[in-house]
Amino acid sequence: METPDYDDPEVDREWCLAARSEVVEYLAGTGVQHGPVGDWPAWHVAPILSIWAVESVKQPGAVGWWVIYGDIPTDYIGSAGLHHPREVLRAIAWRWKEYVDAVRGGSPPDGFAIGDGSPELIDLLEGRAGLLVEMSSDDEVWAGL
């Protein structure tokens, strides 16, 4: 099977449309009150990572949530103080790092879980969090945005 060429705008567009559907489905399962998911990611590198703005219910027209999706665990975070995808990436990465440290320390945080908490998932999360920190710190990744 041929590997898709994500540099092809049509392949990129198809990935983004499929990613948006996954984000909508993910949010439906969280129970979070939210408005519409943006039609296009706020930032993405298909098929690795995308960041989606989600409209606030309390303040229509404003971002209320951010969702991260791709070859990583899908997660969401409130928009308070997060105005740029780079800030979102950094905030989620640090939250994952804190979660990993808490789980490994024997005291997972109350009311917050990612997946099943298996050792394999914790290892994956730690690696992905490190990657997200690196990406959020790399000025070249954010040039032009």
Q: What is the pLDDT of residues 67-119, one digit of tens each?
A: 999 998 899 999 999 999 999 999 999 999 999 999 899 887 777 777 777 88
Q: Quote the pTM value.
A: 0.92
The answer to whether the CB of 99 falls within 8 A of the CB of 114 is yes
